[in-house]
Structure 1
Amino acid sequence: MIKGFDCSTPLTAQTAAAFVNDGYLFVARYLVPSGYKALTKSEADTISEAGLQIVSVFETTANRALGGRSAGLADGATAVQVAHDLGQPPGSCIYFAVDFDASSAQMPTIIAYLRAASEATPEYTTGVYGSYAVMEAVRNVGACSHFWQTYAWSGGKKSNFINIYQYLNDVVEHGIGVDYDESYGKEGWWSTITVPEPPESYPLSPKDANVIIPFLSAGYEATSSTAAREEFHRLANELRRVSGQPEQ
């Protein structure tokens, strides 16, 4: 379990650092084009530099998903543009919010919205935020791949496949209002800081390889068999390869 939170208030370097010091590893922020709650590129950089991962959630109004397919296509296109502006990397997730107590009769419209949003965001994975009923209905038809459940409207039920769980709302911490979340893997979060590729490692050190190669060279010199010499040469080059040295 990983500790996180979501908020509508932009984070400063000071507040982001304070949450990191308290053991938080991620924050969910709003991927919307404008308004007081919108994540900006400078804030995304601030959050990333503090050491927090970012979860992107698209929400303009609580019941926007009731706009169905046409709303999903429009919101998906907007979300992609904002994600590009923020530097959100392809392959990470954009969650679309169903922030109300959705009824079973409304699920087909919600599913159409999510499918359209996913269609409009091909370079990103698609997630949904909502109640237990939303999680179950959306997963049953495969409308998206990531799931962020809220305890609200869930009647104490919790889906067993979710990536993120929001378990408490409207808490004030470090001077801002937040909701508490926990995550369980494959959240689809991101950062503006590129992690460098680790240096290539080799199973054998050059020093050890160069201790063994002379024995192969001695065998090479001791035989007149062309096939045997080719094999000694191949083995020596194999040792060079696995120790990161150029072949000869």
Structure 2
Amino acid sequence: MATTPTPGIDCATPLTASAAKQIAAAGYKFAARYLVPATYTWKRLTLTEAQGITAAGMQIISVFETTADRAKGGAASGQADGAAALKEAQAIAQTAGSAIYFAVDYDAQPADYNAIEAYLKAAASQITGYEAGVYASYAVIEEMYKRGACKHFWQTYAWSQGKQSSHANVYQYKNGASVAGVSVDLNRSYGGEGWWNTEEGAITMSKDDAEKIIRFLSAAWFAAADDASRNEFNRLANEVRKAAGIPV
């Protein structure tokens, strides 16, 4: 994980393009927003908002939460929520391979852990093309990591007795701050967040230029003295292909 934390925010309030720019100008690098059905319009992330956050220079973290203790419903709830999250992610063109976090937003006890594990694994089974994460307290993060319930971990300081998990990709350390006139929670991230933006996958290079660069990289690949160098040249060539919209 990254040694220098990256500052970010999460909020229930949809961000206007102007607010996103002001939040970015204040030094924040990502915004976590709710990936929820249209019945939750008051906090729902839309494509327009995602584009505004991206244009401001921030990354996006997607989190699914309808009710705080929804995970108590186990696999059945996870299956339904995963399917709903997938529909929303596709509707806003969330980048494939990024994460969708599912919230355990209460002081979960050990008696709840089996249901939470079942919830997360069922949700993960539904979000084809994406990776599942969990937002929860220290104890839940530790337990779900141990059980392999998901791939990404966002810890809140709430109910955590001052402890911070070494497995947390994101750590929420303060609620109820105000940035750009918006009520937000403050976070730090440490790598492996699974964030995304609306420009990922966009064609930013012509096919002709890409093919010229790839020819140079190919020559370097053949001249490379070891596998590590060849693997790196291959990786770089694939990144160039992606930038030009050439299938990898």
Q: Show the counterpart of 1:128.
A: 134
Task: Return the offset for 1:203.
Answer: 6.5
1:149 and 2:161 matched: no
Paired with 1:176 and 1:76, the residues of 2 have a C-alpha distance of 29
Counterpart among 56, 59, 72 of residue 53 in structure 1? 59
1:183 and 2:189 matched: yes
Q: Show the counterpart of 1:14.
A: 18
Q: Show the counterpart of 1:4.
A: 8
Q: Show the counterpart of 1:64.
A: 70
Paired with 2:192 and 2:166, the residues of 1 have a C-alpha distance of 14
AA of the residue aligned to 1:18: Q
Q: Show the counterpart of 2:144.
A: 138
- State the Cα deviation string for residues 173-230 of structure 1 (Å, max 9, x = none): 211110000001111001111353695363699xxxxxxxxxxxxxxxxxxxxxxxxx
Q: Show the counterpart of 1:24.
A: 28
Paired with 1:192 and 1:173, the residues of 2 have a C-alpha distance of 23
1:104 and 2:110 matched: yes
AA of the residue aligned to 2:37: P
Structure 2 length-normalised TM: 0.79
Residue correspondences, number: 205
1:94 and 2:100 matched: yes
Task: Return the offset for 1:171.
Answer: 1.1
Structure 1 length-normalised TM: 0.79
Q: Secondary structure at the match of 2:96?
A: coil
Task: Return the offset for 1:131.
Answer: 0.1
AA of the residue aligned to 2:115: T
Percent identity over the alignment?
A: 51
AA of the residue aligned to 1:31: L
Q: Which structure 1 residue ranges, 5 or more long, are not aligned?
A: 206-248
- State the Cα deviation string for residues 99-154 of structure 1 (Å, max 9, x = none): 00000111111111001001111310110000001101101110100000000000
Asked if structure 1 preserves the Cα contact closer than 8 Å seen for 2:153 and 2:168, the reply is: yes
Q: Secondary structure at the match of 1:138?
A: helix
Q: Secondary structure at the match of 2:44?
A: coil
Paired with 2:10 and 2:172, the residues of 1 have a C-alpha distance of 9
Q: Secondary structure at the match of 1:46?
A: helix
Q: Show the counterpart of 1:162.
A: 168
Paired with 1:62 and 1:203, the residues of 2 have a C-alpha distance of 51
- State the Cα deviation string for residues 40-61 of structure 1 (Å, max 9, x = none): 1111111111111100000000
Q: Report the aligned-residue RMSD.
A: 1.6
Paired with 1:192 and 1:203, the residues of 2 have a C-alpha distance of 28
Q: Secondary structure at the match of 2:43?
A: coil
Asked if structure 1 preserves the Cα contact closer than 8 Å seen for 2:14 and 2:45, the reply is: yes
Q: Secondary structure at the match of 2:102?
A: strand
Task: Return the offset for 1:90.
Answer: 1.1
Paired with 1:95 and 1:26, the residues of 2 have a C-alpha distance of 15
Q: Which structure 2 residue ranges, 5 or more long, are not aligned?
A: 220-248
Q: Show the counterpart of 1:225.
A: none
AA of the residue aligned to 1:20: A
Asked if structure 1 preserves the Cα contact closer than 8 Å seen for 2:86 and 2:128, the reply is: no
Paired with 2:81 and 2:108, the residues of 1 have a C-alpha distance of 19
